[in-house]
Chains A and B, each alone.
Chain A
């Protein structure tokens, strides 16, 4: 098991290296290049040339890449053009917000999607099945930002059930320990902070959960249906086991294997997908910062954030693979 993990960790290195090259080429070689992003369109050529030189853009490609890589390895992703603060610092201060949001979304998606998909499969062709399949199709086809807007206008602004923006109400005082508001609140026993933070997470979490929820429901349903037709489920029934034993140990245990993978991949995508939701709810996380960076053409922020998010995605994939191998003995054997 340990060897498996070490081997997978070693495999990460070329992937991450490749990612950095890909991203470097991607961003440096786009029409115009970074100097265009920094300068107004009508900048004189001399100014442009001077900037290219100061950015090291006149040097050969490989030299540029290796100095880029060297800086990354030292943890230096450059500084934001707008705030002037180091990119890594900007990322870390915003990470807890997005993390809390992503966890909320995944919890909602799993808690609702698994039972829904399972029950839909059990009562195939019934009203619940129809609703689950139809609902998940609708969930996949609704633009997230529109759903977020509907929730915000409907539940927050019109009905006033939830706060419509930010992570915390201004009136609530909190002690900062980790930057994770819910966690901090639990640690300091400031229950009002926990409650208020959760209320702020509810709507963006729900909006962000829409696609994972739809995907998990559909996958669970398909997977359970497939497993229910397997020979070993018939064997379990032939052994006269109780219905619940058959359903948990034999059906669910197997049916959830592909769902675990899907949950992992989806949570990897959530960090990126939060751009839309966060900007609708003015949620001060990674996503809304990327949104601002896009409009301000804050090139170091974009490069750094995307690289970090991609790295996170790769690491989450690794965790998924490891947990999968713990669940499925057939994979472990290899």
Chain B
């Protein structure tokens, strides 16, 4: 055995062949042929293994698993979501209970910092800051998710309609697309924050207003993205192939073009979660957010705490850090997802 050229066998070559090769010159021709084929397979086997065909999403996932940016983002997002979902269990006190109200005197600059029963201290009304922070995570997550869903749903509807009309609708489709795009352009020209401000101002401040206002502002962005991606896909050969095979247009749009165009839209949703949280905070700061004290939201907390920034910075720092870190988590996740899906950056 040791005289043979084949080294310790890993690639599943049956043992009897190895024995046959050992006799070398005297073995019949077909045996020699098999032996050299095995040797070749073995040598090739050591280098071919990696790089098998897989879907782009699985591929992207693999790439992201190696990217520290993506991991950081994912960890932040997971922690945030878990805290938000479990917040009633995690909060030791009611967020509205002013049980320690007699210990805090904002006008005399007397605040209470972190201590055994109040981990993060008390806010200006003597409420437990930790409980408010944890419950606030829940509200913030809800605002972000609902606003993003609103933008995603209506934006995708508008953009998808425009995109499929442009790709498959012929002359009429092009016209419909044109009209839809003009509308989207106009919506883009309306300043998002001001739009949100007007909605909130006219409908009156509430959590629903904030979610709707922030979501509506995102519609044109989603619409443009999806339409652009669909147009790019529509020029691909596989669409032409499907058309020439007689696949119905609606089916092409729904089962071929749309799934292949979702990449950028999903990336955008992740990024929008971050924007929505920040925008919601801005609306709260402008006094248009949730007036209901029983469900504090980080934006509202931050807006309230601004007044005490120079005397009790901690009141503002916790919600601000919450917003910044959460937004950072979604942004990191979105950006690394975008990188992972970008064909230009793939080798």
Q: Do chains A and B touch in the complex (CB under 8 A)?
A: yes
Those of B303-330 within 8 Å (CB) of chain A: 306, 309-310, 316, 320, 323-324, 327-328
B164 in contact (CB, < 8 A): no
B89 in contact (CB, < 8 A): no
Question: How far is it, in angstroms, between the C-alpha of A145 and the C-alpha of B320 when the chains are bound?
Answer: 11
Cβ contact within 8 Å between B198 and A306: yes
Residues of chain A lying within 8 A (CB to CB) of residue B195: 306
A275/B197 contact (C-beta < 8 A), A18-B186, A137-B331, A145-B282 known = yes
A297 in contact (CB, < 8 A): yes
B278 in contact (CB, < 8 A): yes
Those of A277-323 within 8 Å (CB) of chain B: 279, 290-291, 293-295, 297, 299, 302, 305-306, 309-310, 313-314, 317
Question: How far is it, in angstroms, between the C-alpha of A144 and the C-alpha of B183 when the chains are bound?
Answer: 29
Residue among A140, A271, A317 with the highest chain B CB neighbour number at 10 A = A140
A22/B190 contact (C-beta < 8 A), A15-B185, A138-B324, A138-B328 known = yes
Partner of A30, one of B186, B202, B302, B306: B202
Question: How far is it, in angstroms, between the C-alpha of A176 and the C-alpha of B200 when the chains are bound?
Answer: 37
Cβ contact within 8 Å between B331 and A15: no
Those of B192-233 within 8 Å (CB) of chain A: 192-195, 197-203
Partner of B332, one of A137, A294, A310: A137
Residues of chain A lying within 8 A (CB to CB) of residue B202: 27, 30-32, 36-37, 297, 299
Those of B22-69 within 8 Å (CB) of chain A: none
A192 in contact (CB, < 8 A): no
Residue among A30, A141, A272, A306 with the highest chain B CB neighbour number at 10 A = A141
Residues of chain B lying within 8 A (CB to CB) of residue A203: none
Binds A, one of B94-102, B259-267, B285-293: B285-293
Closest to A272 in B: B191
Closest to B192 in A: A272
B239 in contact (CB, < 8 A): no
A19/B286 contact (C-beta < 8 A), A142-B324, A146-B316 known = no
B281 in contact (CB, < 8 A): yes
Question: How far is it, in angstroms, between the C-alpha of A36 and the C-alpha of B202 when the chains are bound?
Answer: 8
Closest to B275 in A: A140
B236 in contact (CB, < 8 A): no
Residues of chain A lying within 8 A (CB to CB) of residue B327: 140-141
Cβ contact within 8 Å between A143 and B286: no
A294/B186 contact (C-beta < 8 A), A137-B332, A138-B328, A158-B310 known = no
Those of A120-140 within 8 Å (CB) of chain B: 137-138, 140
Residues of chain A lying within 8 A (CB to CB) of residue B278: 141, 143
Cβ contact within 8 Å between B194 and A18: no
Q: How far is the CB of A168 from chain B (nearest CB, A)?
A: 24
A14 in contact (CB, < 8 A): yes
Cβ contact within 8 Å between A19 and B331: no
Q: How far is the CB of A307 from chain B (nearest CB, A)?
A: 9
Cβ contact within 8 Å between B282 and A276: yes
A31/B316 contact (C-beta < 8 A), A18-B186, A146-B302 known = no
Residues of chain A lying within 8 A (CB to CB) of residue B192: 272
Closest to A269 in B: B191
Interface string of A8-52 (1 = CB under 8 A from B): 000000110011001100110011100011000000000000000
Question: How far is it, in angstroms, between the C-alpha of A138 and the C-alpha of B274 when the chains are bound?
Answer: 12
Cβ contact within 8 Å between B203 and A290: no
Q: How far is the CB of A314 from chain B (nearest CB, A)?
A: 5
Cβ contact within 8 Å between A290 and B197: yes
Q: How far is the CB of A262 from chain B (nearest CB, A)?
A: 14
Question: How far is it, in angstroms, between the C-alpha of A114 and the C-alpha of B302 when the chains are bound?
Answer: 32
Question: How far is it, in angstroms, between the C-alpha of A275 and the C-alpha of B200 when the chains are bound?
Answer: 15
Question: How far is it, in angstroms, between the C-alpha of A153 and the C-alpha of B73 when the chains are bound?
Answer: 31
Cβ contact within 8 Å between B193 and A275: yes
A137/B282 contact (C-beta < 8 A), A302-B201, A314-B189 known = no
Cβ contact within 8 Å between B306 and A141: no
Cβ contact within 8 Å between A306 and B189: no
Question: How far is it, in angstroms, between the C-alpha of A153 and the C-alpha of B323 when the chains are bound?
Answer: 20
A157 in contact (CB, < 8 A): yes
Q: How far is the CB of B183 from chain A (nearest CB, A)?
A: 7
Cβ contact within 8 Å between B282 and A149: no
Residues of chain B lying within 8 A (CB to CB) of residue A27: 198, 202
Closest to B201 in A: A294
Closest to B329 in A: A141
A273 in contact (CB, < 8 A): yes
Cβ contact within 8 Å between A294 and B288: yes
Cβ contact within 8 Å between A272 and B193: yes
Partner of A290, one of B194, B281, B306, B335: B194
Q: How far is the CB of A198 from chain B (nearest CB, A)?
A: 25
Question: How far is it, in angstroms, between the C-alpha of A276 and the C-alpha of B189 when the chains are bound?
Answer: 19
Those of A230-261 within 8 Å (CB) of chain B: none
Residues of chain A lying within 8 A (CB to CB) of residue B309: 149-150, 153
Question: How far is it, in angstroms, between the C-alpha of A140 and the C-alpha of B273 when the chains are bound?
Answer: 13
Residue among B182, B281, B285, B310 with the highest chain A CB neighbour number at 10 A = B285
Kindly list 14 other residue pairs between chains A and B, CB separation below 8 angstroms, not including A15-B185, A141-B323, A309-B191.
A18-B186, A30-B202, A32-B203, A138-B324, A141-B274, A143-B278, A143-B324, A144-B282, A269-B191, A275-B197, A290-B197, A294-B200, A299-B202, A309-B194
Closest 10 CB pairs of A and B: A272-B191, A141-B327, A294-B201, A141-B328, A310-B189, A145-B285, A153-B309, A30-B202, A18-B186, A143-B281
B interface residues with partner A (beta carbon < 8 Å): 182-183, 185-187, 189-195, 197-203, 274, 278, 281-282, 285-288, 299, 302, 306, 309-310, 316, 320, 323-324, 327-328, 331-332, 335
**23 pairs of residues in contact across A and B, judged by CB atoms under 8 Å:** A14-B182, A15-B186, A22-B183, A22-B187, A27-B198, A27-B202, A37-B202, A137-B328, A137-B332, A143-B324, A145-B282, A146-B302, A146-B320, A276-B193, A290-B197, A291-B286, A294-B198, A294-B200, A295-B201, A297-B201, A302-B197, A310-B186, A310-B190
A interface residues with partner B (beta carbon < 8 Å): 14-15, 18-19, 22-23, 26-27, 30-32, 36-37, 137-138, 140-146, 149-150, 153, 157-158, 269, 271-273, 275-276, 279, 290-291, 293-295, 297, 299, 302, 305-306, 309-310, 313-314, 317
